[in-house]
Amino acid sequence: MTDVRGGASSTVPAACRAFAERQYRRSSAERWGLTIDELAAAFERSAGGRFAGRTPSPAEAEQYFESLHLDDLALGCACAKGREAAWEHFVREYRPVLLRVAGRGQKADAARDVADSIYAELYGLGARDGVRRSLFDYFHGRSSLAGWLRAVVAQRLVDRARASRRFEPLPEEDPPAPAAAASPEFELDADRRRCRELTGQALADAIAGIEARDRLRLALYYAQGMRLAAIGRVLGESEATASRKLERTRVALRAAVEARLRAAGRLTDAQIDECFEHARTDPAFDLARALPPPHG
């Protein structure tokens, strides 16, 4: 018996394939450049979540497939695979949804941060076994894409609120005594100081090693704070293309830093993870300051 993410049995893939063949044109899959096999795989993932732990009857499986938002599922599948036409459509139609929902009760900058972080997850930053992982992989078409995005944004806002409360300082009855002055270098232990030095050099080398146009795109976004649409106009590309290339550059930059830490610093995977965690909280690793001026 073959499972789908630990779910439906091997009878389901055949039903997925048959349904994909019948609904291929109706689902707009062809418009986004999906194959029948890719659409069938999307149905299979969806069925794996719906029928986890049991085998549906053919009639039950058919009824479930008929209830799906086929156009939205095809679009999400194509975006997960990086199809440019699908991304162009998604940015035009759904990015405003992300910004609007994220902006409820939030300042403009905070809303943009939430929307952009989700947008990055949708494109897929992380990779496992060499395969890019996208948040779209978890969209199964049971709700509309807009409804699913609203739920994702709402959960991210809740997560941010909980995190901010978790790190709020506890009230103190008496003011703390003034701390003795100390230099930043003294405050860092030897391992963390070495980690900072190695990571800083690796980051500088990695930035120097990317193409000038990609370096410019990073500088415009991080150092100048320009929006993706504005960056696209500067570079003569669409907002979707600017976003996609920015994310690819970020992934490549991280991989280059990892490779340099592994080669030059002789660090293990665990030590590299620790270096990235230090970099995440250390102002010395502000990417905006590490980048050269946009005209450079």
- Do 155 and 237 share a domain, yes or no? no
Distances (CA, A) of 103 to 92, 162, 177, 230, 293: 18, 18, 40, 20, 31
Residue range of the domain that includes 236: 188-290
Residues 194 and 285 in one domain: yes
pLDDT in tens, 122-153: 877 555 556 667 889 889 988 899 888 888 88
| Residue 4 dihedral angles phi and psi, to the nearest 5° | -110, 100
pLDDT digits (tens, 9 = 90+) for 246-260: 888 888 888 888 888
Q: Does residue 97 contact residue 43 with C-beta atoms inside 8 Å?
A: no
Q: Is residue 69 part of a domain?
A: yes
Same domain, 54 and 90: no
Q: Is residue 29 part of a domain?
A: yes
* Tokens, residue 235: 């570079």
Q: Considering the chain, what is the average pLDDT of its residues?
A: 75
* E strand map for 145-273: none
Q: Does residue 274 sit in the same domain as residue 208?
A: yes
- Report, in angstroms and rounded to the nearest whole number, the Rg of the chain calculated over CA atoms: 23
If one counts the domains in the chain, the total is: 3
pLDDT at 2: 35
If asked whether residues 92 and 161 sit together in one domain, one would say yes
- On whether both 152 and 58 belong to a single domain, the answer is no
pLDDT band at 161 (very low <50, low <70, confident <90, very high): low
In angstroms, how far is CA 289 from the centroid of its own chain? 23
Q: Do 105 and 153 have their domain in common?
A: yes
Whether residues 192 and 278 share a domain: the answer is yes
For the entire predicted model, the pTM comes to: 0.53
In-domain check, residue 176: no
The tokens of 22 are what? Answer: 């019948």
pLDDT at 88 over 80: yes
Q: What is the pLDDT of residue 34?
A: 92
Residue 181 lies in a domain: no
> Quick one: 102 and 117 in the same domain?
yes
Residues 216 and 284 reside in one and the same domain: yes
Task: Provide long-range contacts, Cβ within 8 A and 24+ apart, for 1-4.
Answer: 3/48, 4/44, 4/45, 4/47, 4/48
Q: Are residues 193 and 207 in the same domain?
A: yes
The answer to whether the CB of 119 falls within 8 A of the CB of 244 is no
- Is the pLDDT confidence value at 76 over 90? yes
Whether residues 64 and 93 share a domain: the answer is no
Q: Specify if 296 maps to a domain.
A: no
Q: Is residue 143 part of a domain?
A: yes
Average pLDDT over residues 67-91: 90
Question: Domain end: 107, 134, 166, which one?
Answer: 166
- CA atoms of 252 and 115, how far apart (whole Å): 22
Query: Residue 128 forms beta bridges with which residues?
Result: 131
User: pLDDT tens digits, residue range 188-246?
Assistant: 456 677 777 888 888 888 888 888 888 888 887 777 667 888 788 778 888 888 888 88
DSSP at 170: P
- Residue type for position 112: R
Final residue before a domain boundary, out of 46, 80, 114 = 80
